[in-house]
Amino acid sequence: MLNAAWTVSLLVAAARAVPTDWVDPFIGTTNGGHVFPGATLPFGSVKSVADCTGNENQGGFVWDDSLITGISPLHDDGTGGSPSLGQFKVFPQICPGSFDTCKLSDTSRAQPRRRGTEKAHPGYFGITLGNGLELETTVTAHVALHRFTFHGFDTSQPHKPPSIVRRQQEEDDELPPPENEDVPPENEDTETPPTRPPGHAIPPLGSGTKTSSTPAAPATPTPPPPQPSAVILFDLTQDLAHSYQGAGSMRFSKTSEPGVVRVSGTGQFVPSFGANYYRVHFCLDVPGVKKFAKYSMGMNPELVNATGESERVGNSNSGALFEIDPKYLHERGNTIQTRIGVSWKNEKQACAFAEDEIPNGRWNHWSDFEVVRSKGREAWDELLNVVEVDTTGVDNDFIVNFWSSMYRSYIAPTNITGDHELWDSNEPYWDSFYCIWDSFRTVHPLYAITARTAQAEIIRALIDIWRNRGWLPDCRMSLAPGWTQGGSDADSLLADSFVKNITKDIDWNAGLRSMITDATITPGYWDVEGRSAIERRKQLGYVPVDDDTPGGLVTRSASKTLEYAFNDFGIALVADAFGLEETAKEYYNASNDWINLWNPKTESAGFTGFIQPRYMNGSWKDVDPRHCSPVLGHFDCFLNYNGGEFYEASSWEYSFFMPHDMAKGVELMGGKDTFNKRLEAFFENGYHDIGDEPGFLVCFLYNYGGRPDMTVDRVLKVLNAFYFPGPAGVPGNDDSGAMGAFVVFSSFGFFPVAGESVYLISVPLFPKITFRDPDQGTTAQIITHGFDGAKKNKYVQRARLNGKELLRNWFAHDELFGIGGTLEFWVGEKPSLWGTTDEDLPPSMSTGGKFLGMLEGAGSQARAFTSMEHKSDKGPGHHYPR
Ligand SMILES: *[C@@H]1O[C@H](CO)[C@@H](O)[C@H](O)[C@H]1NC(C)=O
Ligand SMILES: *[C@@H]1O[C@H](CO)[C@@H](O)[C@H](O)[C@H]1NC(C)=O
Ligand SMILES: *[C@@H]1O[C@H](CO)[C@@H](O)[C@H](O)[C@H]1NC(C)=O
Ligand SMILES: *[C@@H]1O[C@H](CO)[C@@H](O)[C@H](O)[C@H]1NC(C)=O
Ligand SMILES: *[C@@H]1O[C@H](CO)[C@@H](O)[C@H](O)[C@H]1NC(C)=O
């Protein structure tokens, strides 16, 4: 599985000290991970990578043999659905003659890659094509820089006929060798950027007298054979899903920089997992241009002038071609750099981003690229350094997997504050919530510890979406409303941040109102926000199979009931902190609804009692509890009309989902022993689906059965079997880092019950972990005595929290992270009695779990609650008929 390139990068990493040295962005780029492995900053708007043809190109690039069609500046990370974004591709090619010999459509111009030339680290991506052209990219927040190297392109002998074959052979000596041979380390130190490209590509200065100017028209009537030209193609319309809507534009203009031609404009496309369409804007600068043209399929490319006038583009296969002056290329060792700014607001903003973030005069030389690249890397190290791990006794593979997983947790959502025209607001705007159903379980709880400023902005952005659209979203991407997957899990996301004391500039009063809106007011189109079946559920205590609420897709009744119940619990916690006793009571009560779907008679694999769907008339619909699990109808349960009553997981798995009242679940299943046995059967019989988010928390549930040792065994088994540092090392869609954050928490040795303040303890996989809160200046530490890489000594024997014995197999957020603190473990070879008695179990509602929310005193952020004022009837477009 691991080829030489991977091994070498591991060895290089071992000698280094900063987190990004350990990051391998290619993990999860095949086998369904759909990870975006390209260049981006933390939460960056622009995510630049080479796009591939093929089925698994949701994240743009795929680790397989599919072809490459260009580098594009916008992507989402780890998503399912149809591939997202990928428009505005820039692609170098050598055209054998004039522009009409260039290959235009993405399929006709697509090139194979040279295996073994893939290179990536945070903020950088590079690859070499089969034709010898090398593509590299680096970024700032809203701008991508490209570096294209026309290896072997002969700029000195204009009359030599093109000989692609010969060129290719020459390059074979110069380029990194193919797979399975030693490859030079991917990242040379970039501290001192080289002032010019590596020597091999630079023709001797002064060589060739015919390179210096545009060749004059031949005087003789017999023209020489056509001269191949180095061309940069810009593809306006072909996003990954081919969703161009016709309403775009292009404008060619000159800038203050000599020889630079700018093409800027707009495209209109369809969101990959959502309603309506979206518009996005670009501004591309190309230097060294000899001549340029626009193209539209079905017509010959047409030379144009830089008139500065915007032209509408209707043809869905359109773009621009720039021929690069051979002299310009020659002077730069056959490299050329282009710069593209992208804005969700307008074209002018796209150009402003380009010039502000990578200024004129500082973007089109080799060293400029290196400066941007090293700044990007520094930004990542600054973010990742919030966590420090002592790696003594930890395998290199594991360290790579850990830091790569950490890295992937901060790629999305994206911060596009100020860069949209959806509505007038001074609040932050974040996009690519893709989807909260996935990310609320791990990604946002991780931010609640490691990126609290970002998380506060995210909460404000979500509340502002409620303010302006009327409801909280589950999914949003490309400024468009996305399809809701299950419950209104933004409620649990908000509750999670609230109980973890995230307050910075947040109007929590509005926050609570937004949650209550979800629970009480049915949107006109609940497929994209809020909840369905609100009235029916109120009457029946569950969402019925045959719900008749108009406004969307009627499926998922059982899993929605479970999620709404847990979402309501989050509302109750926040209302409680505000001192709204009646409201809290109402929502605590509603959070018991899941019990109404507990069918004590349903049997599977020797266990009785499962969550089953019910009709309005009260009768049950029998669903095989294994249905939707890997052993039965695994791919039947998505967002479609016959998707069934459980979304993306089986009744077996959902029957463990009552996080706020696991004690009640354990009781219904027949007590702790049966519960633990049932968990074992669930995993061993193959009903568990680690490739989907509901499969996370269930690995840690043995703690509720008083068997934290079994949690340790299970978590280690899952990590070892399904997560590893290779392209296939993520077992399902990474979903904006949801899987990555699962690995991160598992490595910390505790897992969040997202939406509550509770962390379930497993065992740390580093001897010492330090968390710094850069805002508060506080530090939390987890120290594990007797650590041996969790090889033999993997069971907790004893624990101490801030100097006091900790007998519980869980702790609350504030106990360790509130003002900082120290959690110590002593580990040994045999399971101990630690964390096994009833008093040691994590809190549950039915057993009076007062720690589900914040500890005493932290409720101070909740001021008087102002009366409900629902704004959903204001503002444009709350209805999105399909
Ligand atoms: C471009 O400008 C030249 C010189 O002014 C003119 O001859 C030519 O027709 C123009 N081409 C287009 C496509 O406007
Ligand atoms: C988000 O973007 C805005 C505008 O650029 C910036 O002020 C803010 O600091 C960013 N937030 C984070 C967490 O980086
Ligand atoms: C609790 O919820 C049930 C429906 O699940 C309802 O019948 C009952 O009246 C509620 N009780 C209170 C006190 O709100
Ligand atoms: C309840 O409704 C379902 C679906 O319409 C139907 O199949 C079932 O027979 C009904 N049960 C009773 C007891 O009427
Ligand atoms: C909550 O945060 C505020 C300020 O951000 C701080 O003053 C307070 O001590 C925190 N409370 C707890 C329990 O950590």
Distance set, CA 319 to CA 250, 251, 292, 764 (Å) = 8, 11, 11, 53
pLDDT tens sequence across 657-689: 999 999 999 999 999 999 999 999 999 999 999
Check residue 157 and give its pLDDT.
55
Give me the DSSP letters along 552-572: S----HHHHHHHHHHHHHHHH
Element (H or E) spanning 168, and its range? Answer: helix 164-174
pLDDT value at 879 more than 50: no
| Nearest ligand to residue 813 Cα | 5
Res. 201 pLDDT band, cuts 50 70 90: very low
Ligand 1 probe mutation, 99, 304, 305, 321, most atoms within 8 A of CB: 305
Taking the centre of ligand 1 as the mean of its atom positions, its distance from the CA of residue 254, in whole angstroms, is 15
Residue nearest to atom 1 of ligand 1 (CA): 305
Ligand 4 probe mutation, 542, 546, 617, most atoms within 8 A of CB: 617
pLDDT tens sequence across 358-408: 999 999 999 999 999 999 999 999 999 999 999 999 999 999 999 999 999
Res. 186 pLDDT band, cuts 50 70 90: very low
Cα(751)–Cα(441) distance, integer angstroms: 10
| Nearest ligand to residue 778 Cα | 5
pLDDT value at 286 more than 80: yes
Give me the DSSP letters along 207-226: --GGGSSPPPPPSSSSPPSP
- Averaged pLDDT, 99-115: 97
**Ligand 4 site, residue 620, Cβ cutoff 6 A:** no
pLDDT tens sequence across 797-836: 999 999 999 999 999 999 999 999 999 999 999 999 999 9
Ligand 2 probe mutation, 415, 427, 453, most atoms within 8 A of CB: 415
Check residue 614 and give its pLDDT.
98
Task: Tell me what the pLDDT averaged over the chain comes to.
Answer: 89
Cα(574)–Cα(586) distance, integer angstroms: 12
Check residue 158 and give its pLDDT.
53
Taking the centre of ligand 3 as the mean of its atom positions, its distance from the CA of residue 660, in whole angstroms, is 17
pLDDT tens sequence across 415-433: 999 999 999 999 999 999 9
DSSP 606: T
**Ligand 2 site, residue 454, Cβ cutoff 6 A:** yes
Cα(399)–Cα(744) distance, integer angstroms: 11
Given the CA of residue 855, which atom of ligand 5 is nearest to it?
Answer: 13
Neighbours of 257 (CB within 10 A): 14
Closest CA to 739 of 395, 273, 406, 383: 406
Taking the centre of ligand 1 as the mean of its atom positions, its distance from the CA of residue 714, in whole angstroms, is 71
pLDDT value at 519 more than 80: yes
Residue nearest to atom 11 of ligand 4 (CA): 619
Closest CA to 323 of 416, 401, 234: 234
Given the CA of residue 503, which atom of ligand 5 is nearest to it?
Answer: 5
Taking the centre of ligand 5 as the mean of its atom positions, its distance from the CA of residue 858, in whole angstroms, is 7
Residue nearest to atom 13 of ligand 1 (CA): 304
pLDDT tens sequence across 573-618: 999 999 999 999 999 999 999 999 999 999 999 999 999 999 999 9
| Nearest ligand to residue 581 Cα | 3
Cα(60)–Cα(780) distance, integer angstroms: 38
Res. 851 pLDDT band, cuts 50 70 90: low
pLDDT tens sequence across 321-343: 999 999 999 999 999 999 999 99
Identify whether the C-beta of residue 692 lies closer than 8 Å to the C-beta of residue 686. Answer: no
Residue nearest to atom 4 of ligand 5 (CA): 503
pLDDT value at 10 more than 90: no
Taking the centre of ligand 2 as the mean of its atom positions, its distance from the CA of residue 457, in whole angstroms, is 8
**Ligand 2 site, residue 455, Cβ cutoff 6 A:** no
Cα(505)–Cα(456) distance, integer angstroms: 8
Identify whether the C-beta of residue 76 lies closer than 8 Å to the C-beta of residue 278. Answer: no
Given the CA of residue 305, which atom of ligand 1 is nearest to it?
Answer: 1
Given the CA of residue 858, which atom of ligand 5 is nearest to it?
Answer: 13
pLDDT value at 864 more than 90: no
Cα(214)–Cα(483) distance, integer angstroms: 54
